[in-house]
Structure 1
Amino acid sequence: MTDVREVGVAVRRARIGDVGALVALRVEMFRSMGSVTDGERWATNAYEWFVDRLDNADYGIFVVEQHGDVVACAMGAIRDAAPSPLAPDGRDVLISNVCTAPGARGSGFGGRAFDAVLEWARETGIARAELMATPSGQGIYQRNGFTVNAFPAMRAQL
């Protein structure tokens, strides 16, 4: 899965050497959303989480590399959801961690990573995907058939 339209740019599955960049992009994603990113515990846990899932078939973790540097990423995870009218087989794909490094924004790299995850998700045969969108990301998702749900996600710390 390489984009040959631009020299020096590749879209590919993440490898073990990319985990540091995946965590750094995750930190940046939360920082840009206004979340507090202090503390090493969550980042250390995220590093281990990525390492444990790189070769797991239920996860599609993709990066965009420009001249050898990871500049964007996105991932999908198959969830074992209960069957519903919109997911009669009971599984869906959660797309997350769509992020581009600040210096590479506006070049379409995040869209390329997202497209790779979407292609992977379609190849799973699962009929539904879900994601959480920031206002700045909604456009790309809507262009790909995602709609705002009438029942937004709610969260509580337990």
Structure 2
Amino acid sequence: MKQLGLVLLVALLVGSCDTNAVYKEYTDIEDGKWYIKNAPSFTFEITDTSVPYNIYYNLRNSLSYSYYNLYLTRYLRDASGKELESRLDELILMDPKTGKPNGDGLGDLFDHKFLMKRNYRFPKPGKYTMQLKQYMRQDPLLNIMSVGITVEKAAPSH
């Protein structure tokens, strides 16, 4: 039954279309055990620097995840490997008081999309890499199924 839920979830994700997305990628976390040393990287190309971009964290966790939040450190690097930014962010996965999960759920899996950067302007066209590390005290961190990013052209403000 769990496998069927996962198949349906993947079908929903593939079927849902981000019209402004220039990049969307997930990395599955093996057995839902996210080790600190496992820091997935996502490399994408920006061709148009005249427009701002919104960058999002994508995260999938099971209801068995032990905490209401998740601390992640992100590193943005340009094509030469130069670090443009590193920052620690807290993502709230569940209501701290009620334990009610945030995000979109199917079965015991929940998908989250958190805004990481709003209206970001890349300095020049080219390839960029975003690397994500879990920054919790638990190693491995259990019940995180996948992590990723979405890069979208920001909608023009009216």
Tell me if both proteins adopt one fold, taking TM over 0.5 as the criterion: no
TM-score range, shorter chain: under 0.3
TM-score, with normalisation over the residues of structure 2?
A: 0.28
- RCO comparison, higher one (Cα < 8 Å, 6+): 2
Q: Which TM-score applies when normalising by structure 1? A: 0.28
**Which structure has greater strand proportion?**
2
